[in-house]
Amino acid sequence: MRARTVWFGVWAMTLVLSFIVSLALRDTIAAHLNDSTVADRVARGVEWDWWQEFQQQATALGTTFVPSIIGGAAPLRNLSDLADNRPLAKGLFPLLTAWLLLWSFASGGIFDRLARDRRVGGQAFFGACGRYAMRLLRLGALAIGAYWVLYAWVHAWIFDVVYASLIRDLTVERSAFLLRVVGYAIFLALLVAVNLVVDYARIRLVVEDRRSVLFALAAGARFVARHLGLVAGLYALNTAVFVAIVGLYVALAPGGRNDDGRLWIALAAGQAYLLARAFLKLQFIASQIGVFQHALASDVLVSSPAPEWPESPAAEFVRTADDTSPLTP
């Protein structure tokens, strides 16, 4: 809550990237409509017949302009695509790449700011961004590899091999549904396990100022294993808040009619949802850092840092927790 500038910055970064892509999509839609008579009907609200025609000839970014972008259907579709391993639209790869690069750069400063739990100037923030950017980028590349293995191999094995063989002779639809739910639960557990290890590896890279990405991954895995109940419970609490936010947005988000100004309301509701998502993303990070620092302070896991700027947030936290105790190697 005290890092409001960081919160606004994360939302603004999302907004700017989306706005750039929206301009390109706008040009695609305008070129298709041209000066046709249907343009006026499209401007007044959802024109289903035209939308179907547009989708049939759409390429690149145009393939993302689907009915599920309206209102609460958007986050539900994203979650469904994630669970069922549906491929990402090719037109979104440049946007995704830009987001990953920006996040790899910004997250060093974000993690450092939240770990210190105090204001830092722009020079210190962006200095931390630059200091950790390459390390976090290497970690991100390893994380993408791990997620690729999960989706390309493990997901296919669970649903295309095991699930398919189990339902081959089933005649009860309810049983097939329950088996699929079990498959989702197993895959989700593996996905969360990888996510937790990567999350705490990022924290150890920044908070402890580690230079080796592989050792940070190993240290993150050890931390998760040693404090499994705590980190899993925290993850469940944060996930429950995420589900509540998505549920609230799905319930309150307006539709696509424009005759009573609903599109402007939909735009405002969408941005409010994105602000809440940005807040929750930072809450995930801050609460995980808090758990790690609590364990760090009680176990005295950090070694004495080298006297160079910016000093490790871990050293600052241990000194703040007990100013009379020297750092133990």
C-alpha 130/C-alpha 139 separation (Å) is 15
Question: What value does the mean pLDDT take over residues 315-322?
Answer: 56
Strands (E), the chain: none
Element at 289 (helix H, strand E): helix 262-299
Q: Do the Cβ atoms of 108 and 133 come closer than 8 Å?
A: yes
Tens digit of pLDDT for each residue in 66-76? 877 777 777 88
Residue 224 predicted with pLDDT over 70 = yes
Q: Do the Cβ atoms of 130 and 310 come closer than 8 Å?
A: no
Query: What local confidence, expressed as pLDDT, does residue 242 receive?
Result: 92
329 Cβ contact partners less than 8 Å away, ≥ 6 residues apart: 303, 304
Query: What local confidence, expressed as pLDDT, does residue 304 receive?
Result: 39
b vs e for 164-197, b when ≥16 Cβ sit within 10 Å of the residue's Cβ?
eeebeeeeeeeeeeebeeebeeebeebbebeebb
Question: What tokens does 202 get?
Answer: 């990022």
Query: What local confidence, expressed as pLDDT, does residue 148 receive?
Result: 93
Residue 280 predicted with pLDDT over 60 = yes
Count CA within 13 A, CB hemisphere, residue 235.
Answer: 18
C-alpha 286/C-alpha 241 separation (Å) is 14
Q: Three-state DSSP class for 24?
A: helix
More confident residue, 213 or 83: 213
C-alpha 216/C-alpha 209 separation (Å) is 10
Tens digit of pLDDT for each residue in 130-143? 999 999 999 999 99
CA distance to 98, 186, 288, per residue, from 200 (Å): 23, 22, 8
Residue 4 predicted with pLDDT over 80 = yes
Amino acid at 251: A
Tens digit of pLDDT for each residue in 140-182? 999 999 999 999 999 999 998 888 888 887 777 888 889 989 9
Tens digit of pLDDT for each residue in 287-309? 999 999 888 764 444 433 444 55
Question: What value does the mean pLDDT take over residues 45-67?
Answer: 80
C-alpha 127/C-alpha 310 separation (Å) is 8
Amino acid at 77: R
Model confidence, pTM: 0.81
Query: What local confidence, expressed as pLDDT, does residue 253 receive?
Result: 76
Give the distance between the most distant pair of CA atoms in the chain.
78
b vs e for 31-44, b when ≥16 Cβ sit within 10 Å of the residue's Cβ?
ebbeeeeebeebee
C-alpha 110/C-alpha 282 separation (Å) is 8
Tens digit of pLDDT for each residue in 252-272? 877 656 555 667 777 888 889
